[in-house]
Homo-oligomer: A and B are copies of this chain.
Amino acid sequence: MAITDSSQRSGELARAKIIDTAFEHFARHGYQGSSLGRIATAAGISQSGLLHHFPSKAALLQAVLATRDLRDTVATGITPGNLADLDFTALLTFFTQVVRHNAANRDLVRLAHLTAVEADNPDHPAHGWVTGRQRFLQSLIENALARDATAGTIRSDIDTRTVTELLVATMEGLENQWLLDPGIDMVGSFQRFATHLRTIITAVP
């Protein structure tokens, strides 16, 4: 059994090495600008060795994105399950954590942005990931606002859709600028925006 364990272990190590290398390539060159041959070479494996682990470039991108999601979940300690229970104030605190996490993980942000622009076409292998991610973000905000509306803690004339679009826009648009200029105070600006947004939507007792 020791031999099987060791071979499984070396397979896992090879997979992890390929995913890390592919992560760098996709984050740097995009999906279309990356090649399996160059990823294999950089990972120190033959192309047929790579194809043994991931049958296509599409499968490799999907594995990279799943790894990215897992790292985000581990880093922030929050899973889709417990996110659904947050009210709007708690959600803004969570988003602030995410922005801070992103500010320390440039490649993560770059991969997400590059993939999002590339994958707007339904034929792109990451189309489901990027649209699902956007819908998930929107639904978190909508659920939190609905919960607060029921509790009467936010103003009754809030336009959920506008708040949702502007909140997502602020997070993503600050990232756009910060990718080009790391001097942008992404975390500070987001915190000031979040404080302001919370103030204007809170019901006056």
Chain A residues with a Cβ under 8 A of chain B: 28-33, 110, 113-114, 116-118, 120-121, 130-131, 134, 159, 161-162, 165-166, 168-174, 176-177, 179-181, 184-185, 188-189, 192-193, 196, 200
Contact = CB atoms under 8 A, between A and B. Distances in A.
A37 to B, nearest CB: 15
B173 A169 contact: yes
A177 B181 contact: no
Contacts of A118: 30, 33, 114
For A33, A165, A174, the residue with the greatest tally of chain B CB atoms inside 10 Å of its CB is A165
Contacts of A165: 174, 177, 184-185, 189
A18 to B, nearest CB: 20
A171 B169 CA distance: 8
A134 B170 contact: no
Which 9 A-B residue pairs are closest in the complex by CB-CB distance? A169-B173, A173-B173, A32-B33, A172-B173, A33-B33, A165-B189, A172-B176, A169-B174, A114-B117
